[in-house]
Amino acid sequence: MERSRKFLLRPFHVRRKMKQSVYIVGSKGIPAKYGGFETFVEKLTECQQDREIQYYVACMRENSAKSNITADTFEHNGAICYNIDVPNIGPARAIAYDIAALNKAIEMAKENQDQAPIFYVLACRIGPFMAGIKKKIKAIGGSLMVNPDGHEWLRAKWSLPVRKYWKFSEQLMVKHADLLICDSKNIEAYIQKDYAKYQPKTTYIAYGTDTSKSILSKEDEKVRAWFADKQVSEGNYYLVVGRFVPENNYEAMIRGFMQSSSKKDFVLITNVEQNKFYEQLRKDTGFDRDPRVKFVGTVYDQELLKYIREQAFAYFHGHEVGGTNPSLLEALESTKLNLLLDVGFNREVGEDGALYWAKDQLARVINEAEQLDAQAIEALNEKSSRRIAKAFTWEKIVADYEKEFKG
């Protein structure tokens, strides 16, 4: 914290000189304590190569508090981070946060006398409020870049009015953006097709993943304790990791697995506490009567989670809403055999390094997968690892972003 206090005594523009300023709005902030966008911002700043870019990152105050940071402004990975206080007003809180964070970023850019600042907004929450904000951005010579994320308006967790808001908001974000950075080619094609009337300028930059192996081994105490507690053994389970929501097709995966003749376990690492969907699925499928299906809760130890991924016989991926999914990238890197729901988003990423299943055909694909010999599985493993190394390392993603930001 000493570093932040010293830094705050100096004006931003003295420190920054003539760097390209990039203000990032829409993540909960860094240090990263959450998922997708937070990890992206963490890696974008941690792996920065071009020191002629100065990042400014909006942070929710409670996210910073988790790292014992209380200052209004602080430095992390060379980025200047600023805390935003947002009242707890329910579902609209994320919208209020983005608006406050973006307005604060514009104020900072004016104060710093930035030349051609970039404002990069993650997700499409604040479309109805963008007309006035875009005028302020243009008035200081800035540009607005937007990451449209996935099809948020299709997610089952939202009520119909909220879904309509998401779609309308997305439309207005596309209208006002100077550039849309899509992390999926399928999302980019959708933006170009659905919003052709705005002639949107788009580009594709993927999400990234960590390619290091787990530092843990079979003999480690925490490894043995976890496997003993969950009553599973290395190489003898199918795995899924992710949020327990309907659009990730847990029902299709559970039904398909239960219909298969597999003698292996199906391990689900997900939080199902006080989850109505879990109770409904239990009634509908009777998975609690199949000893192979094991809900094991969450795993917060990242090295242990990586080891569990590496030791799975195969990984199921059932996501069909959204762009490049972080969990899919981790699976393609870590797990030898991957069984992916056959939709464009997944084929785009997995290419020929995975097996694919339709919702009513998973049992058949599982039975076929168990007939593969070690050589065939290793061939798929090598293809998926090459795919990740070529297109989805954080080093590549960060380089692509720096090139875009520098024009």
pTM metric for this prediction: 0.88
pLDDT the model gives residue 243: 85
Q: Give me the DSSP letters along 33-86.
A: -SSHHHHHHHHHHHT---TTEEEEEEEEHHHHHTTT--SSEEEETTEEEEEE--
CB-count exposure of residue 158 (10 Å: 0-12, 13-18, 19+): middle
Residue type, 81: C
Q: Could you tell me the pLDDT band of residue 396, with boundaries at 50, 70 and 90?
A: very high
> In the structure encoding, which two tokens stand for residue 163, read together?
């879904």
Q: What is the DSSP letter of 115?
A: S
Inter-residue contact 260 to 366 (CB < 8 Å): yes
User: 3-state DSSP call for residue 401?
Assistant: helix
Q: Could you report the per-residue pLDDT of 290-319, keeping only the tens digit for each?
A: 999 999 999 989 999 999 999 999 999 999
pLDDT the model gives residue 163: 81
Rounded to whole angstroms, the Cα distance separating 3 from 17 reads 19
Domains delineated in the chain = 2-208+394-406 (3.40.50.2000), 221-390 (3.40.50.2000)
Q: Could you report the per-residue pLDDT of 104-129, keeping only the tens digit for each?
A: 999 999 999 999 999 999 999 999 99
pLDDT the model gives residue 154: 62
Q: What's the number of CA atoms in the CB half-sphere (13 Å) around residue 270?
A: 22
